Amino acid sequence: MTSQSVIIFISNALDAYYSSHSFGTVAKDPPFEPQSGGAPPEMWNSQPDTDGWVEWKMLPSTVSERDLEQLEAEFEVKLPAILASYFRARFHLFDQVAIGDLVLILPSVPSDSPFRPIRANFLAWRQLMAACFLPFGSFQDGWGPLCFDLKEGSADDAPICWFDHEHLAPLSKAELGDRATLEPLKQPLFGSFRELLSRLRSTV
């Protein structure tokens, strides 16, 4: 499912972006429940300030192939290998990342609950999966779901597109799972997730 060379490529891209920016987020409060938001203590790079914010640090991921298999079984989906490798590369708390004029919300990978953010994406737009669009993030500041177009890709990677939520909102559940209905609404962004990450790295 994953390869070490791809994991290294992703780690290097995330490391480069992290090294050129300063990142803070809300610190997780005791009792530090995995399913609650905020940075877990092991990812703190500073002590919380008076407003409860901390600078966070990246950590090597400990996500296993078995963990990924369980996620796939839960949602009855096969992740592109590069997305699986993304979860095995780094624990991070990126919220928005900028690529030129584009702002993307990629799934963060918190150390205490690595799949919590991606599960939220899957659950919010689960119907799209039936049409071979895998939702994994958001375009701009929540304009709509960022997706892998699985039908146009391979087991390794796939083109990245997005949908305007205003175009999706009027659709029925059946229409949200219908490829023919969604095809005219998709808006291509990148030829692959690798291209997205390469562009991210080149912005530093």
**Residue showing tokens 């177009």:** 149
Report the b/e string of 7-31 with b at 16+ CB within 10 A.
Answer: bebbbebbbebbeeeebbbebbeee
Q: C-alpha distances in angstroms, 202 versus 67, 95, 109, 141? A: 31, 18, 22, 22
- In this prediction, residue 66 carries a pLDDT of 98
Phi, psi at 83, each rounded to 5°:
-70, -40
Phi, psi at 110, each rounded to 5°:
-70, 145
- CA diameter of the chain: 52
- In this prediction, residue 166 carries a pLDDT of 97
- In this prediction, residue 50 carries a pLDDT of 87
- In this prediction, residue 113 carries a pLDDT of 96
The β-bridge relationship of strands 187-190 and 160-162 is antiparallel
CA–CA dist 171, 181 (Å, integer): 9
- Name the token pair of 190: 């990148």
Fold of 4-202: SMI1/KNR4-like (3.40.1580)
> pLDDT of 128-147, one tens digit each?
999 999 999 999 988 999 99
Low-confidence ranges of the chain (pLDDT < 70): 1, 204
CA–CA dist 101, 156 (Å, integer): 27
Domain boundaries, given as residue ranges, for the chain: 4-202
- In this prediction, residue 22 carries a pLDDT of 72
Does this model's pTM top 0.75?
Answer: yes
- In this prediction, residue 204 carries a pLDDT of 60
